[in-house]
């Protein structure tokens, strides 16, 4: 049986936190360049130019793209034939976050209790989602999530009779009312179906899917295109100052639903769409 040592996991998490915060993924950079070509508003182009230049500076100087280096959201895909040795997996991940945020000069943005609000000082704990898969591979995705865009997200338990029009209205209204707050151009992750928490996790998975890769489900892929058009018709534009490019992508994930339910979750991701995957 393949063994994975927790010390290797800690090292990988620390490194991934730092590089995710310094280097914008290539798919996002490409999408911003395309947005620059599509944007009609001079102000919008000026903003996109600043965002592209900012990513270049961050990468060259090894500094964070955004001062909000986020909540460390961690997606694990653990092969059921792999064995983790050397201690607790959760502790290993949190130790990696602690080290990465300290050594990388990243901001510590987590308070220990949501109402008492005292900073934990090391950006722990992480938010960890685990999936068990066949095989013996251990995949870990670090997606630091900023507060500004997360705050504009939402979940709604629609009625089945609300149908696809209800879904479109919920998504578009949310983007419109968020306006400049979530740092557009955004990526919109939509989770449809399952239960309330399942929809929310799907929405989060949707925002870290590569921009430009449509859903493998034809219905969802068509809905992604339609939603992108509708979202960009809001006119919110880069930085919310008005323009054509409000979103770089809308990604939809779906799951079977109860006969009584139509859950919809929308996770909003700012243009600093940071994520880094490591395979052990």
Question: What's the rounded Cα separation, in Å, for the pair 217 and 223?
Answer: 10
Whichever of 50 and 80 has its CB closer to other proteins, that residue is 50
Whichever of 24 and 202 has its CB closer to other proteins, that residue is 24
Binding test (CB under 8 A) with other proteins, winner from 18, 84, 230, 266: 230
Binding test (CB under 8 A) with other proteins, winner from 13, 97, 202, 272: 272
Binding test (CB under 8 A) with other proteins, winner from 34, 77, 107, 129: 107
**The tokens of 168 are what?**
């479109």
Binding test (CB under 8 A) with other proteins, winner from 9, 12, 18, 65: 65
How many CB atoms sit inside 10 A of residue 127's CB? 13
Whichever of 47 and 264 has its CB closer to other proteins, that residue is 47
Binding test (CB under 8 A) with other proteins, winner from 121, 160, 163, 212: 121
Whichever of 78 and 272 has its CB closer to other proteins, that residue is 272
Whichever of 106 and 140 has its CB closer to other proteins, that residue is 106
Residues of this chain, 248-267, that bind other proteins according to CB under 8 A: none
Question: What's the rounded Cα separation, in Å, for the pair 189 and 75?
Answer: 16
163 lines the binding site for other proteins (CB under 8 A) = no
For residues 168 to 207, the per-residue mask of contacts with other proteins, x marking binding by CB under 8 A and - elsewhere, is -----------xxx-x------------------------
Q: Which residues contact 219 (CB under 8 A, 6 or more apart)?
A: 254
147 lines the binding site for other proteins (CB under 8 A) = yes
228 lines the binding site for other proteins (CB under 8 A) = no
Size of the site for other proteins (CB under 8 A): 50
Tell me the backbone φ, ψ of residue 121, rounded to 5 degrees: 85, -10
CB of 71 to other proteins, least distance (A): 14
35 lines the binding site for other proteins (CB under 8 A) = no
40 lines the binding site for other proteins (CB under 8 A) = yes
Provide DSSP, the chain: -EEEEHHHHHHHHHHHHHHHHHS--HHHHHHHHHHHHH---HHHHHHHHHHHHHHHHHHHHT--SSS---EEEEEEEEETTEEEESS-HHHHHHHHHHHHHHHTT-----BSSTTT--B-SS-PPPEEEEEEESSS-EEEEEEEE-HHHHTT-EEEEE-GGGHHHHHHHHHHHHHHHHTTTT-SSEEEEEEEEE-HHHHHHHHHHHHHSPTT---SSHHHHHHHHHHHHHHHTT---GGGSS-S-SEEEEEEEEEEE-TT-EEEEEEEE-S----EEEE-
For residues 45 to 64, the per-residue mask of contacts with other proteins, x marking binding by CB under 8 A and - elsewhere, is -xx--xx-xx--xx--x-xx
234 lines the binding site for other proteins (CB under 8 A) = yes
Residues that bind other proteins (CB under 8 A): 40-43, 46-47, 50-51, 53-54, 57-58, 61, 63-69, 105-109, 117, 119, 121, 147-148, 151, 179-181, 183, 230, 233-237, 239-244, 270-272
């Amino acid at each position: 049986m393949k063994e994975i040592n927790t010390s290797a996991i800690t090292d990988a998490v620390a490194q991934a936190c730092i590089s995710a915060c310094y280097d914008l993924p290539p798919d996002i950079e490409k999408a911003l360049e395309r947005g620059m070509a599509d944007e009609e508003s001079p102000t919008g182009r000026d903003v996109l130019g600043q965002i592209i230049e900012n990513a270049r500076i961050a990468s060259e100087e090894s500094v964070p793209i955004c001062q909000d280096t986020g909540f460390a959201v961690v997606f694990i895909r653990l092969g059921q034939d792999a064995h983790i040795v050397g201690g607790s997996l959760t502790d290993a991940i949190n130790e990696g976050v602690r080290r990465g945020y300290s050594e990388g000069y990243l901001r510590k943005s987590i308070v220990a209790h949501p109402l008492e609000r005292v900073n934990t000082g090391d950006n722990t704990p992480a938010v960890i989602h685990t999936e068990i898969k066949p095989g013996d591979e251990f995949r870990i995705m670090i997606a630091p999530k900023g507060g500004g865009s997360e705050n504009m997200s939402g979940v709604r338990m629609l009625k089945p009779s609300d149908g696809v029009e209800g879904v479109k209205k919920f998504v578009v209204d949310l983007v419109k009312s968020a306006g400049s707050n979530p740092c557009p151009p955004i990526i919109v992750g939509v989770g449809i179906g399952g239960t309330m928490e399942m929809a929310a996790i799907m929405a989060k998975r949707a925002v870290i899917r590569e921009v430009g890769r449509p859903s493998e489900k034809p219905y969802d892929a068509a809905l992604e295109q339609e939603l992108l058009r509708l979202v960009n018709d809001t006119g919110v534009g880069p930085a919310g100052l008005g323009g054509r490019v409000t979103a770089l992508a809308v990604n939809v994930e779906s799951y079977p639903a109860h006969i009584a339910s139509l859950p919809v979750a929308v996770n909003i991701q700012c243009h600093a769409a940071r994520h880094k995957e490591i395979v052990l």
